Amino acid sequence: MVKHLERVRKAGMVVSAAMVFSWLTGCSAQNSNEAHQHDERWISLFDGESLAGWTPKFKGQPLGENYLDTFGVRDGVLTVSYDHYGDFGGEFGHLFYAQPYSHYIVRAEYRFVGEQVAQAPAWARANNGLMLHSQAPETMALEQDFPTSIEVQLLGAAEGETRSTGNLCTPGTHVMMDGQLRTEHCINSASASYEGDQWVVAEVEVHGADLMIHRINGEEVMRYGPLVYEEQVAESLGIASQPALIGSGYIAIQAESAPTEFRRIELKVLEP
């Protein structure tokens, strides 16, 4: 992945000296409830009718190419569909919202429907995600699988299966959790399992580089922060400051071979 990131620019991923100072001096949003004192209105990122404001990027395809109409809208729902595929050949896709954010709450209501496309990897069954603080889509290499980001992994469960959702995955990134630097690619949350095609609400509260909190159906299931780039990724981005904090970025949803529906995706901006 790192070799692809050599082409990544700094667009959408500014790490300021002020952010570094804030982290080093322990000024964390975790110790403040100020963000909750504001009454910002929720913004609907999905209009229920079109993909306006969203741009797809698929592995092996140029930016803006909606490969085999994977992303679409049907009956007021944003769909990730594999109706036009034969076998899956690793064409991982992401649908990026138009602008980056830093301090916000994002909320998505999703469900998994139908069968996974043929020849897809087993780990991608009933698997989608919210890619947060992502690199800008135009900075992704043509053959890059996943954007550098903090992924809130969304998983569905088969009947009787124990499989958490609202997990954390970290393509090109690391996080601090309970005072320790966590370098595993994926860490499970404390959520319940959600079987079949039931609707689930995932909500993520984001405070710049300091803190992310995952909630599933209103219950907190994970929190962590600060958020940093992997060392090699930071070097490829030309970031000299250490720790190389990730304070902002784009929001994207995935197409990883599992048919998925989103009936709302909304955001509320928070003040730093």
- Per-residue confidence (pLDDT) for residue 220, from 0 to 100: 98
Q: Give tens-digit pLDDT for 140-180.
A: 999 999 999 999 999 999 999 999 999 999 999 999 999 99
Query: What CATH architecture applies to the domain 4-269?
Result: Sandwich (2.60)
- 166 with 189: CB under 8 angstroms? yes
Q: How far apart are CA 193 and CA 191, in angstroms?
A: 7
Q: What percent of the chain lies above the pLDDT cut of 70?
A: 85
Q: Give tens-digit pLDDT for 31-87.
A: 444 444 445 589 999 999 999 999 999 999 999 999 999 999 999 999 999 999 999
Q: Give tens-digit pLDDT for 6-44.
A: 333 333 333 443 343 344 334 444 444 444 444 558 999
- Can you give the residue ranges of every domain in the chain? 4-269
pLDDT confidence band for 241 (50 / 70 / 90): confident
What is the chain's mean pLDDT, rounded? 89
